[in-house]
Amino acid sequence: MSEKKQYCVVMRINLDCNACCRKARRIIINMKEVDTHMINKKERQVILCGRFRPSDVAVKLQKKMKRRVEILEVEDLANGHGGEEGHEYEPEPPYEQPYEYSQQSDHMTTPLLC
């Protein structure tokens, strides 16, 4: 079977009241594969991070909440932001200007307007 990777998933779910938020939080806490979560009631978004398949967690949340769940964004954390120890982050080299500007202060150029 496929190995579960580290993902961070943004889902949209209709959270009408505080009771809906409490129910969603209780369901998410009982999921063993979810490490961290954040529920944003105002934006109606749930952000989950952990080792799971995003579609499986969305289906499980949909069945238990009895509400429609949309997956908005999936970020694979194993490819760059952490997860596996074998990968090292290599920052981009600083930007270098390809052209050297002259330092002549007495010479002034004006554009030609035709």
Answer whether residue 78 shows pLDDT above 90: no
Mean pLDDT for the stretch of residues 15-44: 92
Q: What integer pLDDT is reported at residue 85 of this predicted model? A: 47
Q: Which domains does the chain have, with CATH numbers?
A: 6-79 (3.30.70.100)
Buried b (16+ CB within 10 A) or exposed e, 29-58: eebeebeebebeeeeebbbbbbbbebeebb
Q: What integer pLDDT is reported at residue 65 of this predicted model? A: 92
When mean pLDDT is compared across 18-22, 58-62, 68-72, 102-106, the lowest value belongs to: 102-106
Mean pLDDT for the stretch of residues 76-96: 57
Q: What integer pLDDT is reported at residue 87 of this predicted model? A: 45
Q: Summarize pLDDT for 42-57 with one digit per residue, the tens.
A: 999 999 999 999 999 9
Model confidence, pTM: 0.64
11, 48 in Cβ contact below 8 A? yes
Answer whether residue 67 shows pLDDT above 50: yes
As a whole-number percent, the residues of the chain with pLDDT over 90 amount to: 54
